[in-house]
């Protein structure tokens, strides 16, 4: 029960500002371009049970998954989560997403009482594994993808316990960069704790705790009202992943959705069992993809927190592609499979609310990793980025060209930064004209990105999707053009599979052509001329 709406709004916005300031602090103090330039990180505030209270405007695939990480730390560490302590994890089977995403959790105390937590998640450009960047084109177990960290205390009395991350520092190819990024994560949590305490000193600890609860109840009520409109309706949809990188092709993801009593029920029965390759999607990432769609469609003006998600019920069979058992490889599941989960949910909802659903966007993050020895410093380097593409058109609006969509909200790596920090040269970065699907409203075009290797030897890894079939259109709109990965060696072109890792030499060029978005509605005769 909200006693004073004005006071509630002020405290709510203060808690939202905490998460946003944490995110700024993390980006501004990070070492790697992936975090400080591409903003591949997220921050949030949680109550003492580990339920999301407020979040920054960062990465959907991070934010929906983070509560399970916070709860895993609470369960595993318990009373050891004291003042000045921070816990780290990346275990995909204990609330994590994939191994490069390191989540740091810190409690907030009022005297001896824990009243909540702050946490942040950042994608580290290398944490070991079989290939630089820790995003191999082929992996069949989680241990090939890097260091697996179950919840552990890594900060005591506000200071890093170096021994606690020794295994990470020994296996990463870029320990100095990892230490710098990890220090930025500690700084971000420190800022968050300080700001919550300042807020409590102004309004009172009891008011902060009460607002955390009231905010979740408020959002749950608003979400119920939004979903009630579709009570009694249901639909199903199926889409296919290209491959798992290990020999399995055309991998189905299926969802059935029904609305009842202001709540949504999603059943992923019929989805493929977990596969040998690395597109298995941890449950936390599956949840985050579902939450993203429902927040985007039904909660545009509702504060995002656990209350929204309590109205959404998800069944993903154990041992399936969307809820795999250890030791499944998962690095591409978090970045690629989540994109297809979004597509199948939108495909089902298009049958229920056709005028509100866009055609499929590019459906991939086009993950590119390049690593080797920098000839300028004689030190190892590890470059990682995702590449934008075409957004699906919607009723009344053409799709946007050349941006990140759905589960990623990152930026590109600026060419100036890329060429300064790494022995790489960008030869081409342009819109892939004509790659968007035709329609009354046309899908957005993808991108073309060509990077030349300037080091003597490098390893390139690509994790991508929509290379065999383009993103679908809606209501008569055409498909977007499928993506394409090409290696150019001495003017000879070699097509790479969607998931690939290759060793190359100096002057080799990697070209990534990203998919266009699907079109919406049948094009008129005048458009076809």
Confidence of residue 526 (pLDDT cuts 50, 70, 90): low
Question: Taking Cα atoms as reference points, which of 225, 214, 307 lies closest to residue 10?
Answer: 214
Tokens 């004073």 map to which residue? 4
| Three-class DSSP category at 231 | coil
Question: Taking Cα atoms as reference points, which of 54, 64, 28, 13 lies closest to residue 292?
Answer: 64
Confidence of residue 295 (pLDDT cuts 50, 70, 90): very high
Mean pLDDT in residue range 279-292: 97
- Report pLDDT for 527: 61
pLDDT per residue as tens digits for the range 75-109: 999 899 999 999 999 999 988 999 999 999 999 99
| Length of the chain in terms of residues written | 529
Indicate whether 41 belongs to any domain: yes
| Three-class DSSP category at 33 | helix
Is the predicted pLDDT of residue 323 greater than 70, yes or no? Answer: yes
Mean pLDDT in residue range 286-300: 95
CA distance 110 to 197: 8
Provide the domain count of the chain. 2
The encoded tokens of residue 283 equal 């449950």
pTM score, whole prediction = 0.96
Indicate whether 248 belongs to any domain: no
- DSSP-H helix ranges across 78-204: 166-171, 175-203
CA distance 422 to 431: 24
What is the residue range of 454's domain? 358-529
- Of 219, 254, 282, the position where a domain reaches its end is 219
Beta strands in 376-467 (DSSP E): 379-385, 424-432, 446-453, 457-463
Contact 390, 443 (CB under 8 A): yes
Range with the poorest average pLDDT among 91-95, 441-445, 508-512? 91-95
pLDDT per residue as tens digits for the range 350-388: 999 999 999 999 999 999 999 999 999 999 999 999 999
Q: How far is CA 214 from CA 5, 348, 410, 417, in A?
A: 11, 33, 31, 44
The DSSP H or E segment spanning 340 is helix 338-349
Contacts of 20 (CB under 8 A, 6+ apart): 43, 56, 57
Range with the poorest average pLDDT among 52-66, 460-474, 486-500? 52-66
Indicate whether 267 belongs to any domain: no
The encoded tokens of residue 481 equal 């053009």
57: DSSP letter: S
Question: Taking Cα atoms as reference points, which of 108, 239, 94 lies closest to residue 152?
Answer: 94
Tell me how far apart the terminal alpha carbons of the chain are, to the nearest angstrom. Answer: 60
Indicate whether 234 belongs to any domain: no
Residues 362 and 215 occupy one common structural domain: no
Is the predicted pLDDT of residue 348 greater than 50, yes or no? Answer: yes
- Report pLDDT for 120: 97
- Of 167, 186, 219, the position where a domain reaches its end is 219
Indicate whether 93 belongs to any domain: yes
CA distance 364 to 405: 9
Contact 465, 405 (CB under 8 A): no
- Report pLDDT for 156: 96
- Report pLDDT for 525: 67
Is the predicted pLDDT of residue 409 greater than 90, yes or no? Answer: no
Torsion of CA 394, 399, 405, 407, to 10 degrees: 10
- Mean of the per-residue pLDDT values for the chain? 96
| Three-class DSSP category at 397 | strand
Strands 113-123, 101-110: pairing is antiparallel
- Of 219, 251, 269, the position where a domain reaches its end is 219
């Amino acid at each position: 029960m909200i006693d004073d709406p004005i006071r509630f709004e002020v405290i709510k916005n203060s808690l939202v500002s905490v998460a946003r300031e944490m995110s700024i602090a993390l980006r501004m103090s990070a070492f790697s371009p992936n975090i400080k330039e591409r903003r591949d990180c997220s921050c949030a505030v949680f109550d003492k049970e580990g339920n999301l209270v407020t979040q920054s405007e960062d990465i959907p695939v991070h934010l929906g998954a983070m509560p399970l990480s916070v709860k895993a730390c609470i369960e595993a560490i318990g009373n050891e989560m004291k003042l000045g302590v921070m816990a780290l994890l990346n275990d995909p089977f204990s609330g994590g997403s994939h191994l490069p995403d390191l989540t740091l959790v810190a409690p907030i105390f009022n005297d001896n009482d824990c009243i909540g937590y702050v946490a942040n998640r950042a994608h580290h450009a290398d944490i070991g594994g079989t290939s630089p960047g820790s995003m191999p084109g082929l992996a069949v177990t989680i241990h090939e993808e890097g260091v697996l960290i179950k919840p552990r205390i890594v900060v005591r009395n506000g200071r890093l316990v170096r021994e606690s991350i020794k295994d990470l520092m020994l296996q990463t190819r870029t320990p100095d960069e990892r230490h710098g990024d990890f220090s930025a994560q500690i700084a971000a949590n420190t800022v968050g704790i300080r700001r919550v305490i300042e807020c409590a000193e102004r309004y009172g600890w009891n008011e902060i705790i009460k607002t955390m609860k009231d905010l979740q109840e408020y959002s749950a009520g608003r979400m119920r009202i939004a979903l009630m409109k579709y009570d009694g309706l249901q639909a199903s949809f199926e889409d296919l992943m290209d491959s798992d990188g290990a020999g399995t092709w055309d991998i189905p993801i299926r969802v059935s959705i029904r609305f009842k009593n202001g709540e949504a029920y999603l059943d992923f029965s019929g989805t493929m069992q977990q596969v040998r390759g690395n597109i298995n999607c941890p449950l936390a990432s599956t949840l985050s993809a579902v939450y993203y769609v429902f927040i985007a469609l039904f909660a545009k003006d509702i504060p995002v927190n656990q209350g929204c998600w309590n109205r959404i019920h998800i069944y993903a069979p154990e041992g399936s592609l969307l809820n795999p058992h250890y030791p499944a490889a998962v690095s591409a599941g978090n970045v690629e499979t989540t994109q297809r989960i979004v597509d199948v949910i939108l495909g089902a909802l298009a049958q229920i609310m056709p005028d509100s659903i866009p055609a499929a966007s590019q459906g991939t993050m086009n993950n590119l990793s390049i690593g080797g020895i920098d000839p300028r410093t004689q030190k190892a380097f590890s470059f990682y980025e995702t590449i934008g593409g075409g957004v699906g058109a919607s009723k009344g609006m053409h799709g946007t060209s050349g941006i990140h969509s759905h589960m990623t909200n990152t930026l590109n790596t600026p060419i100036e930064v890329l060429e300064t920090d790494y022995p790489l040269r960008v030869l081409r970065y342009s819109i892939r004209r004509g790659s968007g699907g035709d329609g009354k409203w046309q899908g957005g075009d993808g991108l073309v990105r060509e990077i030349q290797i300037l080091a003597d030897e490098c390893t390139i890894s690509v994790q991508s999707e929509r290379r065999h079939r383009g993103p679908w259109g809606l209501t008569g709109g055409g498909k977007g053009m499928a993506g394409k990965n090409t290696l150019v060696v001495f003017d000879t072109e070699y097509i790479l599979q969607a998931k690939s890792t290759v060793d190359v030499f100096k002057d080799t060029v990697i070209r990534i052509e990203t998919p266009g978005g699907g079109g919406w509605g049948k094009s008129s005769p005048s458009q076809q001329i």
